Chain A
Amino acid sequence: MALTQAEIDAEIKDHQDAYDKAVAGGAPVRHHPARDYPPYRSSRLRHPKLPLVAVSGGDPETVELSGPVFGVTDITEIDNDLTLQHRGEPIGERITVSGRLLDRAGRPVRGQLIEIWQANAAGRYAHLREQHPAPLDPNFTGVGRTLTDDQGRYAFTTVKPGPYPWGNHTNAWRPAHIHFSVFGTAFTQRLVTQMYFPGDPLFPHDPILRSVTDEAARARLVAAYDHDLSRPEFSLGYAWDIVLDGPSATWIEEGR
């Protein structure tokens, strides 16, 4: 039996209160979501119950302290412009999303692969198994790739995705978001996440966003509208920096 949004909201509040109370009592801040987060129903059978095992740092032979590399052969010229990938222009509010990719010491991560995917302006993925009865856009696939530049910068041109319904509970809707898959210099830094748009009224009700129980951490998933990045007669600009967690070989070599 599907739960109502009010019941999910109550569960979200319980988890939020428990986290806030724990932090007030001295527990560490959690930057990442708990893997066991019951309001997100699909998590129930898909999270380990035993604690993670720490791999002691400092051994430069540790395979995960290095990682895959990508280059100009792995992308094409228009991969970072999702509005150019078909004969016609996609429907929607044209936007640019740009920012920097940094490691946890604040240094730019250069030449690494960022992949994105998103719904179209109507909230529909160009994915054959998706059944949401919103229109497909023949001029929008919603997939992009780019390599960060020498300052760790990236930029995508796309259209703003729409919110969409999902089956977590009755009348469940995801806030508009763009999925990001990011590589650092080490496999330990691997990140898959979602970027949101400021001021979305669905934020309080979304179990996926709320699985990040730290309010400041949640805020780091929301891009900022930046008028200086908007281009006259063309697009609205959003700024979003990405900070990778996890150690890397270079990070350890330089003494943290």
Chain B
Amino acid sequence: MSTTERPLPTPAHTIGPFYGHALPFPGGGEIAPPGHPDTITLHGHVLDGAGAPVPDALLDFWQAAPDGSLSGAPGSLRRDPSTGGFLGRNGVDFTGFGRVATDADGRYALRTLPPGNAGVPYIAVCVFARGLTHHLFTRAYLADGTDPLLDALPDERRATLIASAGAPRTYRFDIRLQGEGETVFLEFP
């Protein structure tokens, strides 16, 4: 395939308010096989510039498998061919992909297995919302440590990317779209 022809990118747009019957799917926040003893929970609020919860955000998550693999697996949205309904993940393959819409209180929760990426473990997050014209990328780091991105940030900004450990195997990661404590959002040039 020739790479001489370089098309210009399709612009992004807001997800709007009406994706609720289209994008969220049952089990979207359950990447971990049911009952797996290594399951961790990542949870938090999405907040706007006034500190108010954002009840109509959609979060996509992507992460390495526990063994570090970044190849993923199909089956996050596994379907029943006869009814068209959702069957849930098969409980064997680790798809690495999750999707959660925030609730009326602006909260989300993701149950998954610990990511095994090189360096400090993290879960990649893509934020969509009504009013957000172009999605935002961030990372939920599950620990602090030496990392090229974290080390380039001043302390108070660095802290916005590090999920706080609460109850055992539970991590809190709030996303502040604007204002005090604004989350560090990323670009990939």
Contacts and interface: CB of A to CB of B under 8 A. Distances in A.
Interface of A: 31-35, 37, 40-50, 52-57, 59, 61, 63-79, 85, 102, 104-108, 113, 115-117, 119, 125-127, 129-130, 141-143, 145, 179, 181, 187-188, 190-194, 208, 211-212, 214, 216-218, 220-221, 241-247, 254, 256
Nearest to B189: A54
A15 to B, nearest CB: 12
B117 A35 contact: no
A11 to B, nearest CB: 15
A63 B63 contact: yes
Given A32-B11, A46-B49, A61-B119, 19 more contacts: A31-B8, A37-B133, A46-B48, A47-B133, A52-B187, A55-B149, A55-B186, A63-B64, A63-B124, A64-B62, A64-B186, A68-B76, A70-B77, A73-B74, A74-B78, A127-B20, A191-B10, A211-B14, A243-B10
A76 B81 contact: yes
Chain A, interface SS category: loop
B6 A43 contact: no
A32 to B, nearest CB: 5
A64 B49 contact: no
19 contacts: A31-B8, A33-B13, A35-B132, A45-B48, A45-B52, A47-B132, A53-B184, A68-B76, A74-B75, A74-B79, A76-B81, A77-B81, A78-B84, A106-B3, A106-B5, A127-B18, A143-B22, A192-B135, A243-B9
Interface residues of B, number: 81
Contacts, number: 260
Interface string B154-166: 0001000000000
Contacts of B183: 48
Given A45-B50, A179-B16, A141 B21 contact: yes
A40 B186 contact: no
Contact of A52 (B62, B157, B185): B185
B176 to A, nearest CB: 9
Interface string B47-65: 0111010100000101110
Contacts of A191: 10, 12
Nearest to A106: B5
A208 to B, nearest CB: 6
B96 A68 contact: yes
B175 to A, nearest CB: 10
Contacts of A46: 48-49, 54, 129-132, 177-178
A78 B149 CA distance: 44
A115 B84 contact: no
Nearest to A143: B22
A50 B54 CA distance: 19
A33 B184 CA distance: 19
B182 to A, nearest CB: 5
Contacts of A37: 133
A254 B5 CA distance: 15
Contact of B11 (A33, A74, A85, A188): A33
B3 A254 contact: yes
A54 B186 CA distance: 6
Contacts of B23: 115, 117, 181
Contacts of A77: 81
Given A43-B132, A104-B7, A53 B185 contact: yes
Given A45-B48, A71-B75, A243-B7, A190 B131 contact: no
B79 A192 contact: no
A69 B149 contact: no
Nearest to B4: A106
Given A42-B131, A55-B187, A221-B10, A187 B62 contact: yes
